[in-house]
Structure 1
Amino acid sequence: MRANVTAHKDYVIAKIDPRLYGSFIEHLGRAVYSGIYEPDHETADKHGFRQDVIELIKDIDVPVTRYPGGNFVSAYNWEDGIGPKEDRPTRLDLAWHTSESNEVGIHEFAEWAEQAGTEMMLAVNLGSRGLDEARAFLEYVNHPGGSYWSDLRKQNGREAPWNVKLWCLGNEMDGPWQIGQKTAAEYGRVAFETAKAMRAFDKNIELVVCGSSSPKMATYPEWESTVLDYTYDTVDYISLHMYFDNHEKNMANYLAKACLLDNYIDTIAAVIKATKAKKRSKHDVYISFDEWNVWYHSNEQDKKILGGNDGWPHAPALLEDIYDFADTLQVGCILNTFIRHSDVVKIGCLAQLVNVIAPIMTVKGGPAWRQSTYYPYLYASQYGRGTALNLAVNSPSYDTEFAKNVAYLDISAVVSDKDGALTFFIVNRHPDESIELDLSLQGFTHQRIIMDKVMSGHALDAKNGPEAEPVAPKDGQGAAVTQQKLTASIAPMSYRMIRLGV
């Protein structure tokens, strides 16, 4: 099987916002407690943060991390997480039917974020609370001093403001599972007034308004149209969420689901354009895809806790999907989709970062380890920053019941804004045939391969674990650049990353 691709230096999509490779930490399961925070762990620092976990995160170079939720935020009182830890209340978390000790709050998370080298993306509660609590939280976090909330921050040990730039106006407010669910009109009005108040404090912050929780929602895409009608000129991004599953164990369908993601993004991009035209606005709104991942392996095991049949446990194991090699390929396809839509998708948050549907797992009191999905995320974050190229792809394809002409070759390309390297991210969706890749480099002077990493040859259900990580990249073989062409044999059911230098 052969595929022909053309990369031209002048055929570009957009400059990629580095925040496309962000992630998410929610007070859910073991994401915080025994995930990033475990004071008794042998690697923990004086603040209680596991340094083995931080090192794995720093290797990825996560640019931004969303916090504290997620569904959790819609019944969260941020004031519970400030002041002396011994005085903080334990609350019942209605979203995940657990108890929250509030041992970690904004001060602790900010310290962790600084250590991990990531910016904070904070969410305000527009479910059980509203405008007043949101503006108080913003003042607490960002005001230098001389006001009630900023002086309270100083009293609690933080002299300088954190100057958080990116704020989410609630979470998944269209969802019937959400505490304080609203209609699009109800939410649009509240989000507009909250945005107006927050901008009265600082007109330069960036605000994310809630879009659909999924393209399967009955209110999609009318929800986005209504919400943006209220908020368009006061927000910068509209959020989208989507999770992927393979319950039917059909790999052809599973790896084609990135086409559904394509359609989702294209639809909301069209709604944004229509709203801008309707309002005759000069303002641009982009997409913040701030929850995405594979999520289905843990569904059955979580039913007892989520159904309320296990009391209100503190930091139980929840949503702890153990990913397989098939999921690695899926994550590669999702990231390629975001790169190809980087003109409209500016922010992305892999949900989540540690233990909860995450690329990094921990054993309480034991090691931290990488899931197989860690690697496509790692490579995209490390080498996917720069300018995305608009590739011309001619590949054999297949049909599914929901998508036609799904190319067996899934590929994206980025020209680095750091060293000028040209990186190709490649997935072969075919179950048993290699793809002989012939890639024309037009206008480029890149003549050598500086890195070639491949994940292939694994059983689709192969997994990593705390004892061993067998599903990991190896050096690729056989790729070559001659006469401004890159040639390579892309193994069936494989992920590959090839970097070219001048």
Structure 2
Amino acid sequence: MLPVSITLDPAFRVGPVRRRTFGSFVEHLGRCVYTGIHDPEHPTADADGFRKDVVELTRDLGVSTVRYPGGNFVSGYRWEDGIGPVEQRPRRLDLAWHSTDPNTVGVDEFVRWSRAADVEPMMAVNLGTRGVQEALDLLEYCNVKGGTRWSDLRRQNGSPEPHDIRMWCLGNEMDGPWQIGHKTAYEYGRLATETARAMRMIQPDLELVACGSSGVPMPTFGEWERIVLGETYEYVDMISAHAYYWEEDGDLGSFLASATDMDHFIESVAATADAVRAHKKVSKRIHISFDEWNVWYQHRAESKPPTGDDWPVAPVLLEDRYNVADAVVVGNLLISLLRHTDRVHAASLAQLVNVIAPIMTEPGGRAWKQTIFHPFAQASRYARGDVLRVALDVATYETAKFGDVALADAVATYDAETGEVALFAVNRSTTQPARLDVDLRSIPGLELVEASVLANPDHQWQATADDDSSVAPRANATAQVADGRLTLEVPPVSWNVVRLAVRG
């Protein structure tokens, strides 16, 4: 059995657990909106046509923020098309996903859905085909109380109070050649700066996110961040990070080590931001909004958009079916986000429903949980207080993509007020069970609350509408606490959560 030694100490504090780490993403893409969150013919649909069963699953998932309306979609989006009487809204071609958008759901509906789901909306503005004025108009529509053209129109449209949206993304993936309105770093940097400056004239305390590079494999990665932050540094709060290039391609060992790549990504962006900070000789620190991340099998047939004269509404697109190994990797990516809580101030699992998502729906029918639902829900529910960087001692294994990697990974959170500790750990070994030996002596009096494990001898097991619970987290009866130490045994390819608390 693989020995894994872990030490917890409140002195190893990284920073506070940030609720915005547990954000998600809703884009007008495939069936994410239409027949995903919105399905007027569904038996549970509310007055706006939103599925109440999906709202309940969103709450169960523990989502804190939702980014909207894109994604690639936003770079061609005219937000005015999605307000006012639904029957008068125009149908538009969506060039990003070769689809037709009926604009049945727009900003007002989305904000009402956000309130029902108890999530904070995070709005993206179009800096692809549009610019400063359109962003200002949208901000005025959403956040100004009244007395102006756009704010009064919002009131006329049934929202008398401001939407009060605090977080705004200044465009999306503008370094990507696939992006409508693709720009160089200097072009985007100037546009983002002028947009941010003007938006702050309306509302100085907005939280603004500049577009980072679309991923480490991009030839622009690093240099893009340097140039963009050189322009925008004084006017934005965060820079975005996006990553989807983790998938099992026959190399399970490398796939299970994907979080090491996320670690590298975060640390590289943070280093670049700090270099710009040093050059500018300012005290302000730019943080990261990792507002698109997930496992995504981009070469599967369901990831290919329609072509030619076919411009369907809500086609089946990007509907990956996730297995147990995918869930373990998603859990490990959450571990990476948590241990970088000092720099990652927001994150969004992409996406929420149907499109590379933890929640799946049948049009007019059932909604169900994919395997990746469970690690996200547990991390969101139990991570509280401060994130602790654990001392981890474990053997390594060689991967083709990332070199030598630890066979296990872990992070912990500690809430000093309640005395609660949560330990999140993965076993990356494909063959060996592991024995975790956790030193708890720096937090006297801890007792076991519960331990759970998500694993299956067949790491390719997938949930379905008929069975989404056979491989959900189950109790781990091997866990025990004695003499200031926690021990437990965990299977290969597993996601594990242990909860402890100081009693009395």
- Please, what TM-score do these two structures have when normalized by structure 2? 0.97
Provide, for residues 197-235 of structure 1, a one-character-per-residue CA deviation record: whole Å limited to 9, x for no partner.
001111101000000111000011100000000001110
Residue aligning to 2:371 = 372
Alignment of 1:128-207 (within 5 A): 128-207=129-208
Distance in 1, matches of 2:311 and 2:455, equals 42
Query: What displacement does 1:418 show?
Result: 6.9
Q: Aligned pair 1:395/2:394, yes or no?
A: yes
Distance in 2, matches of 1:7 and 1:203, equals 41
Residue aligning to 1:489 = 489
Q: Aligned pair 1:16/2:17, yes or no?
A: yes
Distance in 2, matches of 1:447 and 1:38, equals 47
Distance in 1, matches of 2:242 and 2:385, equals 24
SS in 2 for 1:126: coil
Structure 1 segments unaligned to the other structure (5+ residues): none
Residue aligning to 1:261 = 262
Distance in 1, matches of 2:248 and 2:460, equals 13
Identity %: 46
Residue aligning to 1:220 = 221
Distance in 2, matches of 1:445 and 1:59, equals 32
Query: What displacement does 1:283 show?
Result: 1.4
Q: Is the 1:16–1:346 Cα contact (8 Å) retained in structure 2? A: no
Residue aligning to 1:93 = 94
User: Residues 41 and 142 of structure 1: is their aligned pair in 2 closer, same or farther, counting only changes over 3 Å?
Assistant: same
Distance in 1, matches of 2:472 and 2:223, equals 42
SS in 2 for 1:339: helix
SS in 2 for 1:188: helix
2:20 is matched by which residue type in structure 1?
R
Alignment of 1:322-471 (within 5 A): 322-416=321-415, 419-469=418-468, 470-471=470-471
Q: Aligned pair 1:49/2:23, yes or no?
A: no
Q: Decide which moves more: 439-448 or 324-333.
A: 439-448
Q: Is the 1:74–1:179 Cα contact (8 Å) retained in structure 2? A: yes
Distance in 1, matches of 2:182 and 2:78, equals 17
User: Residues 267 and 434 of structure 1: is their aligned pair in 2 closer, same or farther, counting only changes over 3 Å?
Assistant: same
2:92 is matched by which residue type in structure 1?
R
Residue aligning to 1:293 = 294
Distance in 1, matches of 2:56 and 2:415, equals 24
Alignment of 1:1-80 (within 5 A): 1-80=2-81
2:347 is matched by which residue type in structure 1?
G
Q: Aligned pair 1:119/2:120, yes or no?
A: yes
Q: Is the 2:302–2:316 Cα contact (8 Å) retained in structure 1? A: no
Distance in 2, matches of 1:130 and 1:297, equals 30
Distance in 1, matches of 2:10 and 2:246, equals 36
Query: What displacement does 1:364 show?
Result: 0.7
Distance in 2, matches of 1:209 and 1:146, equals 30
Q: Aligned pair 1:234/2:239, yes or no?
A: no
Q: Is the 1:453–1:474 Cα contact (8 Å) retained in structure 2? A: yes
Query: What displacement does 1:44 show?
Result: 0.9
SS in 2 for 1:337: helix
1:199 is matched by which residue type in structure 2?
R
2:488 is matched by which residue type in structure 1?
A
Q: Decide which moves more: 263-272 or 172-181.
A: 263-272
Provide, for residues 407-439 of structure 1, a one-character-per-residue CA deviation record: whole Å limited to 9, x for no partner.
111111011377331001111011121111111
User: Residues 468 and 172 of structure 1: is their aligned pair in 2 closer, same or farther, counting only changes over 3 Å?
Assistant: same
Distance in 1, matches of 2:298 and 2:245, equals 11
SS in 2 for 1:89: coil
User: Residues 418 and 105 of structure 1: is their aligned pair in 2 closer, same or farther, counting only changes over 3 Å?
Assistant: farther
Distance in 1, matches of 2:66 and 2:33, equals 13
User: Residues 402 and 443 of structure 1: is their aligned pair in 2 closer, same or farther, counting only changes over 3 Å?
Assistant: same
Query: What displacement does 1:246 show?
Result: 3.0
Query: What displacement does 1:298 show?
Result: 6.6
Distance in 1, matches of 2:3 and 2:267, equals 29
Distance in 1, matches of 2:176 and 2:286, equals 23
Residue aligning to 1:480 = 480
Distance in 1, matches of 2:441 and 2:404, equals 26
1:500 is matched by which residue type in structure 2?
L
Provide, for residues 319-348 of structure 1, a one-character-per-residue CA deviation record: whole Å limited to 9, x for no partner.
000001110111011001111111101101
- Please, what TM-score do these two structures have when normalized by structure 1? 0.98
Query: What displacement does 1:109 show?
Result: 0.3
Query: What displacement does 1:401 show?
Result: 2.9
Provide, for residues 330-374 of structure 1, a one-character-per-residue CA deviation record: whole Å limited to 9, x for no partner.
101100111111110110100000000000000111110000100
Query: What displacement does 1:446 show?
Result: 4.2
Distance in 2, matches of 1:332 and 1:446, equals 28
Q: Is the 2:67–2:121 Cα contact (8 Å) retained in structure 1? A: yes
Q: Is the 1:399–1:406 Cα contact (8 Å) retained in structure 2? A: yes
Distance in 1, matches of 2:293 and 2:345, equals 14
Q: Is the 1:121–1:167 Cα contact (8 Å) retained in structure 2? A: yes
Structure 2 segments unaligned to the other structure (5+ residues): none
Residue aligning to 2:212 = 211
Distance in 2, matches of 1:13 and 1:74, equals 36
User: Residues 446 and 353 of structure 1: is their aligned pair in 2 closer, same or farther, counting only changes over 3 Å?
Assistant: farther
SS in 2 for 1:262: helix
User: Residues 181 and 104 of structure 1: is their aligned pair in 2 closer, same or farther, counting only changes over 3 Å?
Assistant: same
Q: Is the 2:410–2:423 Cα contact (8 Å) retained in structure 1? A: yes
2:326 is matched by which residue type in structure 1?
D
1:372 is matched by which residue type in structure 2?
T
Distance in 2, matches of 1:33 and 1:443, equals 51
Query: What displacement does 1:476 show?
Result: 1.1
Q: Is the 2:456–2:471 Cα contact (8 Å) retained in structure 1? A: no
SS in 1 for 2:155: helix
Distance in 2, matches of 1:145 and 1:487, equals 60
Query: What displacement does 1:245 show?
Result: 3.4
Q: What count of residue pairs does the alignment treat as equivalent?
A: 500
Q: Decide which moves more: 209-218 or 489-498.
A: 489-498
SS in 1 for 2:154: helix
Q: Is the 2:440–2:446 Cα contact (8 Å) retained in structure 1? A: no
Over aligned residues, Cα RMSD in angstroms? 1.2
Query: What displacement does 1:155 show?
Result: 1.0
Q: Is the 1:385–1:417 Cα contact (8 Å) retained in structure 2? A: no
Distance in 2, matches of 1:200 and 1:338, equals 33
Distance in 2, matches of 1:92 and 1:401, equals 42
Distance in 2, matches of 1:501 and 1:486, equals 12
